């Protein structure tokens, strides 16, 4: 009897327009969006240079590459893995391009080399995780050191600073005669592409299934390891893309390029509402989180806050983004247990 | 009976293999570079390894439960910087008191990690990845971006690691003391054994009354405590507190553990194994500084060592499992 | 035998969402008594044990220990109150020594105050004594992972004995032991009884109950059916109490014509799990697989569905040799597998009902990898209707459904793939009687349509009521195959508890 009542409750829950609206407004993405608006309002009061179309567009250059890393990181984290080697893949990829550039490679060749290096590094990660079956955190902690180590061993104290003129477009160019950077548009295009794969294809559906229960997915005929392997490979490829953009933008490669970016990428994903345990989250949240963190840092830079404060902010954001939902869940579970207890008591009395 | 003995032999072989590797490595170095075997260099290697041994043992406990502590390097930097600043501003203060303060600071940072993981249910990797950057950031904040140099440190402070007792450098004494403490703790206290039980079979451990939260809080606290100690010793030993100190040190500690046979899946490993793993890493680091330009290869080599050791561990485990299966239904 | 009860359970009920695991049952045991707890899987025995050991808190009723009401909050509370249990699934620390496994949680310490270091010498000595006691010839320092299954079980027994308990619960303690080890165990039980301990003994093996037990209690469907002295009972009276229900209602086995052989399995092996498995499966046939837990039935099915690899042997589908390296390949060949564990393997609880139903079909329903949500929707709706899933909408999370409806989702999911061979592994475990009958009807209808069905079940009446033929397994081997007419509870149960070695004769 009470079972039926509960079901009816749910029925109302599911179809009431009001409930739906209130759900939208209490969603994580909406909170992120409000925060983003808040940041814009705050900084436009603090600094006169913030609300400037040209500045805002240019500021996107400072976060587009990291946000691209986050796009593919979503896939890795959704399936319950993690990759902390992305920044090192980026460094290795940039190193490979610099090396080829010295030997006279053209822009097109450089891009191909950059992407191929990233992809290859990602494949190494995927192989170690799915074939040798070492946990992804351990694998990528080691390859984090290996990939950057290669570039450090060969490049040492030196830097590659000679890149073809045309190569500069990727990181420094603008769309047509506008003030919209190529990088920003490219990030949005990739976001749409990854969002499509995530939400509209069988690949995306399987990804969510794996993140929720790898074993049930396996029993449903999904090739779990193949999808995890592809995730790591694509994550490497995206690190290669970020390497092309970053190298092109700053026009030089040093072994310490993009140090600590894995933290930034993972923070964006987690802040965007993707569960670190896998299986939950969407692309919109991560895109909004990218803009949020990007413009927060831009604003902080405008008011001369040091880089170190920003590092603290990133770390604190990462922890808070995981901690808060976890604490909420713990509180919810306790509440549920309490109500179940009293429900049982009632039932007992009734019978 | 026989099979049990075989198994024991196999496990003991991990330590003997490492000792063999260390001796072989030393022999090769001696042949190619005679000055390697000079007593002062050997003492140097031990000194170099001491801090790694201390911190690796803390990391060992965390890995034993299936977690990881990525914040040890930043913890060293913060505690080391704080201790150096205290020394600079209070030159009359006994270095031993500074050491205790540094350890307390490290313990505090470790307790932050422990709370996040045990009570906040934040996965260890995320919690310590976050605090890694937060601790490092606050190192810059308290130092205002400046270094504390040898001129600004007192002699007694720098003597903390460099002094001698019975002809053996204090730094090595510290390591010996920590190894002995860990050995006792892991072998002769219930808490130590409970760490093994949580890593080995969590649900069975809970069934016999082991508290997972308590164990998690404890291991991160201990990891923080030894990192704090290492921070003070590090600053005093190198006579400089730099904001970037011990960057990437977490990987070395993980390397020492997996080399020593600690399984990244948790549940198995020994203090002796970690000690030998850390010694091997120290030996490697030392010899790389002796060969010209080898320092640049350090990062690459460390990564390769970690991945090879892990692969080796996994392959061995799989062989063992297969052997056990073959005996069933026989 | 007229002493007062040491443990008394009064009017105990235990409800889980959608199911009454125990319904107002009483139970009591006196010191120096060996009490058999009897019932099929799911009858309520293990729920009762979990209440006694403090793992579950009963919904209603009282637990009295020595006449006083208890309120255990954890397994540890029960342990300190002198209740110890030997669990069916060994809960051990494989990387640690035998000594440590026995003393984990209550390490012996040096010093009078018990605050000194862990006393390995004493623990090792006591372990030695315990092992000698049960005549187990292994070193206290041996790592548990190096032990065989039987040895591990004996260590579990030693572990329970290391605690000075008043009540010892043994949950199928002999399932992995050889005859000689069982004799040793009997000796231990008799000694404990003579020392005045109370022993609760759970077993499927009737001869054990008659060998060692003084009293018995029979459960069925969460209710107490009967109790008394073993000396007053017979095997057939106990089986009657265990099973006794009208079979035709719950097991609507319809007529179906048995056709050609579709699946032939010959000498299939998987090292460490099962050996030399051979059987045939016909069109329109329901082939039952009976055996005790751990007999290797699930492991065989996993190989047939491509989850695990066989070490050797051959599987032929419609006469052609096949070897499925992945479940997807088995699915393409027309095999569907409804796994044992609904929550971990059958469904994805946090995904919607519709997404769960279409999950094995997403590839077939997509165009160039792009989802066809319309087609998915209509497929999900079709099968939800056909299987009669009761829900507030197919977009609801599967976790919001009752156990029975969740199992219907699993059925819908696999029927929607249009299988020729359907393997069901414990399909009615833990679901209500109504859904159970519905599941049986669906299975029966499928057989009537000419599909081939394998039904793995630990419930004897289910296997007897539904199957055309019954394959019985014991510890990795097939011990017997029965035709429907010749199968009766006694014969099938006896085949399932055969000692190893019998089948090779």
Across the interface, whether the CB atoms of C402 and A3 are under 8 A apart is answered: yes
Two tokens at C419? 């299988």
Percent of chain C whose predicted confidence (pLDDT) is above 90: 38
- Is beta strand C34-38 parallel, antiparallel or unpaired with respect to C198-202? parallel
Q: Which residue of C has its CA nearest to B7?
A: C146
Query: What is the pLDDT, as a whole number, of residue C147?
Result: 80
Q: Are A142 and B296 an interchain contact pair (Cβ–Cβ within 8 Å)?
A: no
pLDDT of residue C334 exceeding 90:
yes
Largest Cα–Cα separation, chain C: 77
Is residue C444 a contact partner of residue C451, using CB atoms and an 8 Å limit? Answer: no
Q: Is A18 on the interface with C (CB under 8 A)?
A: no
Choose from A201, A212, A221 for mutation: most chain C CBs within 10 A: A221
At residue C239, the pLDDT reads 72
Euclidean distance between CA atoms A93 and B194, whole angstroms: 45
Confidence grade of residue C501 (pLDDT, cut at 50, 70, 90) = very low
Q: Does CATH place domain A39-331 in 1.10.3470?
A: yes
How many CA atoms within 13 Å lie on the side-chain side of A323?
20
Indicate the average pLDDT of chain C.
Answer: 85
pLDDT of residue A8: 39
pLDDT of residue A2: 39
**Mutation to test the A interface, candidates C348, C375, C393, most A Cβ within 10 Å:** C348
Contacts of B262 in chain A (CB under 8 A): none
| Average pLDDT, integer, range C5-10 | 89
The residue ranges of every structural domain in chain B are 47-246
B126 touches chain A (CB under 8 A): yes
Pair C27, C132 in one domain: yes
C392 contact residues in A (CB cutoff 8 A): 7-8, 10-11, 13-14
The pLDDT value recorded for residue A293 is: 92
Q: What is the pLDDT of residue C22?
A: 86
More confidently predicted of A326 and C384: C384
Distances (CA, A) of C361 to A221, A222, B173, C56: 9, 10, 66, 39
Phi and psi at residue A187, in whole multiples of 5°? -60, -45
Distance from CA of B173 to the nearest CA of A (A): 31
Using a CB-CB cut-off of 8 Å, the residues of chain C touching B265 are none
B-chain CB neighbours of C105 within 8 Å are 197, 205, 208-210
Domain boundaries, chain A: 39-331
Give pLDDT, residue C503.
40
Write a three-state SS string for C230-292. Answer: HHHCCHHHHHHHHHCCCHHHHCCCCCCCCCCEEEEEEEEEECCCEEEEEEEEECCCEEEEECC
pLDDT, residue B40, reads 82
Q: Which residues of chain A from 201 to 230 reach within 8 Å of chain C, CB to CB? A: 201-206, 208-209, 212-213, 215-223
pLDDT of B62 above 60: yes
Residues C167 and C200 in one domain: yes
Residues of B in contact with A144 (CB under 8 A): 251, 303
Find which of C21, C359, C377 to mutate to test the A interface (most A CBs within 10 Å of its CB).
C359
In a domain, C496, yes or no: yes
- CA–CA distance, A123 with A341 (Å, rounded to integer): 50
Alpha carbon distance B261, B312 (integer Å): 9
The answer on pLDDT for B128 being more than 90 is: yes
> Would the pLDDT of B78 be above 90?
yes
Q: How far apart are CA A260 and CA A264, in angstroms?
A: 7
- From chain A, pick out residues whose CB is under 8 angstroms from the CB of C348: 209, 212-213, 216-217
Interface A-B: count of C-beta contacts within 8 A: 134
In the predicted model, is pLDDT for residue B5 greater than 60?
no
Q: Does B291 touch chain A (CB under 8 A)?
A: no
Residue C339 scores a pLDDT above 60? yes
* Gyration radius from chain B CA atoms: 20
With beta carbons under 8 A apart, name residues in chain A contacting B258. 138
Query: Alpha-carbon distance B205 to B197, whole Å?
Result: 6
In a shared domain, residues C231 and C277: no
CA C340, distance to chain mean position in Å, is 10
Low-confidence ranges of chain A (pLDDT < 50): 1-15
Instruction: Give the Cα separation of C216 and C231 in Å (integer).
Output: 10
Residues on chain C bordering chain B, Cβ-to-Cβ distance under 8 angstroms: 74-76, 79, 91-96, 100, 104-107, 109, 117-118, 120, 137-139, 141-143, 145-146, 148-149, 271-275, 475-476
Of A217, A223, A344, the CB nearest to C15: A344
**Closest CA–CA distance from residue A315 to any residue of chain B (Å):** 4
CA dist., res. C140 & res. C144, Å (int): 10
Q: Is A193 on the interface with C (CB under 8 A)?
A: no
A200 Cβ under 8 Å from any chain C Cβ:
yes
Tokens encoding C11: 């009017």
Q: How many residues does chain C have?
A: 505
Nearest-angstrom CA–CA distance, B15 and B37: 23
B144 touches chain A (CB under 8 A): no
My answer on whether C166 and C310 are in the same domain is: no
State whether C393 and A217 contact (CB < 8 Å). no
Bridge partners (DSSP) of residue C92 are: none
Residues 6 or more apart in contact with residue B279 via CB below 8 angstroms: B22, B49, B53
Q: Classify residue C284 as left (phi > 0), alpha (psi -120 to 50) or beta.
A: left
Same domain for C131 and C161, yes or no, is yes
Give me the pLDDT at residue C342, please. Answer: 84
Domain carrying residue C34: 7-243
Spell out which residues of chain A touch residue B263, defining contact as CB-CB under 8 Å: none
Structure tokens at C295: 């007999």
Domain identity same for C196 and C296: no
Task: Tell me the β-bridge partners of C38.
Answer: C218
Residue C54 in domain:
yes
What whole-number distance in Å separates Cα of residue B125 and Cα of residue B117? 9
Q: Does B276 touch chain A (CB under 8 A)?
A: no
The residue among C243, C269, C296 that closes a domain is C243
C494: CB partners within 8 A, 6+ apart = none
Please report, for the domain that includes residue C321, its CATH number. Answer: 3.40.50.300
A156 touches chain C (CB under 8 A): no
pLDDT over 70 at C54, yes or no: yes
Instruction: Count other C-beta atoms under 10 Å from residue A15's C-beta.
Output: 12
Could you give the CA distance from residue A105 to residue A85 in angstroms, rounded to a whole number?
27
Q: Cα–Cα distance between B17 and B21 in angstroms, integer?
A: 6
What pLDDT does A9 receive?
41
To the nearest whole Å, the CA of B227 is away from the closest chain C CA by 26
B142 in reach of chain A (CB within 8 A): no
Q: Residue C200: how many CA atoms within 13 Å on its side-chain side? A: 28
C362 vs A10, A202, A215: nearest CB:
A202
CB–CB of A11 and C392 under 8 A? yes
Digit-coded pLDDT (tens) for C124-160 = 999 999 888 877 888 999 888 888 777 787 888 888 8
The number of C-beta contacts closer than 8 angstroms across A and C is 87
Within an 8 Å CB–CB cutoff, is residue B156 touching chain A? Answer: no
Residues 67-106 of A with CB under 8 A from B: 82, 84
Structure tokens at A249: 């933008």
Dist. CA A167–CA A163, nearest whole Å: 7
Taking the CA of residue B330 and the nearest CA in chain A, the distance in Å comes to: 28
Q: Is C6 helix (H, G, I), strand (E, B) or coil?
A: coil
Specify the pLDDT at position A191.
97
In the numeric block, the tokens 């983004």 are attached to A321
Q: Average per-residue pLDDT in chain B? A: 87
B 216-255: CB under 8 A from A: 248, 251, 254
Question: Is it the case that residue B299 has pLDDT exceeding 80?
Answer: yes
Inter-chain residue contact C93 with B201, CB threshold 8 Å:
yes
Q: How much is the pLDDT for A149?
A: 94
Q: Which of C53, C119, C120, C146 to mutate to test the interface with B (most CBs of B within 10 A)?
A: C146
**B186, closest residue in chain C (CA to CA):** C118
- Across A182-186, C227-231, C280-284, least confident range: C227-231
Q: Which of A216, A230, A278, A279 would best serve as a mutation to test chain C binding (most C beta carbons within 10 A)? A: A216
C292 pLDDT higher than 80: no
Residue of B4, B197, B268 with shortest CB distance to C104: B197
Among A342-351, B30-39, C269-278, C451-460, where is mean pLDDT lowest? A342-351
> What residues of B are in contact with residue C104 (Cβ under 8 Å)?
193, 197, 204-205, 208, 210
Contact C141 B189 (CB under 8 A): no
Is the CB of residue A93 less than 8 Å from the CB of residue A243?
yes
- Tell me if chain A has a CB within 8 Å of the CB of B311: yes
B25: phi > 0 → left, psi -120 to 50 → alpha, else beta; which?
Answer: alpha
Q: Note whether B320 contacts C145, CB cutoff 8 Å.
A: yes
Residues C278-301: what's their mean pLDDT?
91
Are C63 and C26 in contact, with CB atoms under 8 Å apart? no
**Cβ <8 Å between A201 and C347:** no
């Amino acid at each position: 009897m009470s079972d039926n009542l509960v079901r009816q409750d749910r029925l109302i829950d599911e179809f009431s327009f009001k409930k739906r609206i209130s759900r939208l407004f209490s969603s994580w993405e909406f909170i992120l969006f409000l925060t983003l608006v808040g940041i814009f309002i705050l900084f436009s009061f603090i600094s006169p240079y913030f609300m400037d179309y040209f500045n805002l567009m240019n500021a996107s250059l400072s976060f587009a590459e990291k946000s691209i890393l986050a796009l593919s990181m979503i896939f890795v984290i959704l399936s319950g893995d993690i990759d902390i080697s992305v920044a090192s893949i980026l460094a290795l990829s940039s190193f490979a391009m610099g090396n080829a550039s010295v030997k006279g490679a053209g822009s097109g060749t450089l891009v191909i080399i950059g992407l191929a290096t990233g992809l290859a590094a990602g494949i190494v990660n995927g192989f170690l995780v799915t074939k040798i079956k070492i946990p992804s955190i351990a694998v990528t902690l080691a390859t984090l050191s290996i990939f950057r180590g290669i570039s450090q061993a060969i490049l040492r104290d030196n830097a590659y600073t000679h890149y073809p003129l045309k190569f500069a477009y990727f990181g420094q160019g603008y769309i047509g005669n506008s003030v919209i950077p190529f990088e920003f548009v490219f990030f949005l295009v990739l976001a749409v592409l990854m969002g499509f794969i995530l939400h509209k294809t069988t690949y995306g559906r399987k990804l969510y299934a794996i993140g929720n229960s790898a074993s049930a997915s396996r029993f449903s005929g999904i090739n779990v390891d193949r999808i995890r392997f592809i995730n790591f490979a694509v994550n490497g490829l995206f690190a290669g893309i970020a390497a092309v953009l970053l190298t092109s933008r700053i026009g030089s490669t040093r072994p310490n390029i993009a140090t600590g970016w894995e933290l930034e990428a993972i923070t964006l994903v987690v802040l965007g509402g993707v569960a670190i345990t896998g299986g939950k989250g969407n692309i919109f949240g991560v895109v909004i989180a990218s803009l949020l963190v990007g413009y927060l840092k831009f604003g902080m830079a405008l008011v001369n806050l040091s880089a170190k404060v920003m590092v603290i902010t990133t770390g604190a954001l990462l922890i808070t983004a995981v901690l808060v939902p976890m604490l909420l869940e713990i509180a919810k579970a306790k509440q549920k247990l309490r109500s179940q207890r009293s429900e049982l008591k009632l039932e007992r009395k009734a019978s | 009976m026989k099979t049990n003995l075989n198994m024991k032999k196999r496990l003991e072989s991990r330590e003997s293999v490492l000792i063999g590797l260390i001796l072989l490595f030393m022999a090769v170095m001696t042949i190619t570079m005679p000055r390697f075997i000079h007593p002062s260099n050997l003492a140097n290697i031990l000194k170099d390894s001491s801090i790694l041994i201390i911190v690796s043992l803390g990391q060992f406990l965390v890995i034993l439960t299936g977690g990881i502590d990525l914040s040890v390097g930043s913890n060293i930097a913060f505690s080391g910087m704080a201790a150096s600043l205290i020394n600079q501003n209070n030159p009359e203060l006994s270095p031993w008191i500074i050491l205790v303060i540094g350890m307390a600071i490290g313990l505090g940072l470790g307790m932050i990690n422990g709370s996040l993981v045990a009570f906040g249910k934040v996965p260890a990797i995320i919690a310590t990845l976050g605090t890694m950057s937060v601790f490092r950031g606050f190192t810059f904040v308290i130092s205002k971006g400046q270094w504390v140099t040898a001129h600004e440190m007192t002699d007694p402070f720098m003597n903390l690691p460099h002094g001698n007792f019975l002809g053996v450098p204090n730094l090595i004494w510290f390591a010996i003391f920590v190894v002995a403490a860990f050995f006792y703790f892991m072998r002769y206290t219930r808490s130590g054994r409970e760490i093994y039980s949580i890593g080995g079979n969590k649900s069975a451990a809970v069934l016999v009354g082991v508290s997972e939260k308590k164990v998690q809080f404890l291991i991160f606290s201990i990891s923080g405590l030894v990192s704090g100690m290492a921070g003070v010793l590090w600053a005093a030993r190198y006579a400089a507190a730099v904001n970037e100190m011990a960057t990437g040190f977490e990987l070395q500690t993980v390397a020492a553990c997996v080399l020593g046979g600690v399984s990244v899946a948790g549940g198995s490993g020994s203090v002796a194994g970690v000690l030998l793993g850390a010694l091997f890493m120290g030996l490697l680091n030392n010899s790389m500084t002796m060969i010209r330009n080898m320092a640049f290869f350090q990062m690459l080599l460390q990564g390769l060592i970690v991945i090879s050791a892990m692969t080796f561990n996994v392959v061995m485990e799989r062989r063992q499992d297969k052997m056990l299966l073959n005996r069933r239904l026989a | 035998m007229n002493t007062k009860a040491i443990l008394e359970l009064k009017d105990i009920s235990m409800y889980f969402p959608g199911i009454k695991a125990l319904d107002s049952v009483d139970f009591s045991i006196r010191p120096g008594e060996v009490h058999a707890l009897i019932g099929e899987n799911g009858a309520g025995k293990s729920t009762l044990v979990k209440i006694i050991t403090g793992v579950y808190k009963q919904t209603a009723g009282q637990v009295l220990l020595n006449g006083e009401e208890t309120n255990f909050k954890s397994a540890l509370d029960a342990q300190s109150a002198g209740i110890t249990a030997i669990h069916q699934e060994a809960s051990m620390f494989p990387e640690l020594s035998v000594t440590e496994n026995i003393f984990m949680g209550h390490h012996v310490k040096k010093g009078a105050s018990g605050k000194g270091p862990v006393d390995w010498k004493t623990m090792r000595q006591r372990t030695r004594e315990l092992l000698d006691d049960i005549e187990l010839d292994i070193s206290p320092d041996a790592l548990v992972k190096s032990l065989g299954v039987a040895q591990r079980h004996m260590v579990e027994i030693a572990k329970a004995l290391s605690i000075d308990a008043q009540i010892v619960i043994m949950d199928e303690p002999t399932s992995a032991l050889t005859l000689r080890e069982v004799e040793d165990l009997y000796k231990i039980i008799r000694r404990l009884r003579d020392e005045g301990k109370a022993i609760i003994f759970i077993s499927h093996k009737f001869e054990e109950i008659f060998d060692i037990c003084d009293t018995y209690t029979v459960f069925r469907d969460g209710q107490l059916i009967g109790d008394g002295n073993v000396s007053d009972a017979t095997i057939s009276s106990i089986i009657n109490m265990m099973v006794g229900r009208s079979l035709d209602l719950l097991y609507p086995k319809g007529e179906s014509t048995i056709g050609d052989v579709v699946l032939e399995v010959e000498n299939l092996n998987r090292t460490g799990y099962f050996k030399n498995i051979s059987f045939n499966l016909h069109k329109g046939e329901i082939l039952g697989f009976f055996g005790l837990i751990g007999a290797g039935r699930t492991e065989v099915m996993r190989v047939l569905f491509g989850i695990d690899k066989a070490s050797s042997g051959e599987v032929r589908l419609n006469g052609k040799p096949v070897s499925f390296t992945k479940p997807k390949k088995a699915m393409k060949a027309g095999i569907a597998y409804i796994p044992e564990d609904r929550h971990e393997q059958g469904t994805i609880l946090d995904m919607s009902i519709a997404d769960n139903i279409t999950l094995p079909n997403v590839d077939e329903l997509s165009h160039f990898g792009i989802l066809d949500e319309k087609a998915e929707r209509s497929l999900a709706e079709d099968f939800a209707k056909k299987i009669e899933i009761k829900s507030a909408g197919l977009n609801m999370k599967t976790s919001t459904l009752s156990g029975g409806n969740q199992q219907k989702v699993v059925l819908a999911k696999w029927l929607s793939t249009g299988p020729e061979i359907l393997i069901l592994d414990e399909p009615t475990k833990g679901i209500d009687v109504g859904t159970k009958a519905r599941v049986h009807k669906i299975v029966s209808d499928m057989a009537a349509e000419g599909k081939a069905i394998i039904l793995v079940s630990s419930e004897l009446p289910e296997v007897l009521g539904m199957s055309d033929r019954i394959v019985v397994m014991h510890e990795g081997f097939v011990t017997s195959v029965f035709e429907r007419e010749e199968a009766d509870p006694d014969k099938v149960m006896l085949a399932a508890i055969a000692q190893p070695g019998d089948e090779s004769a």
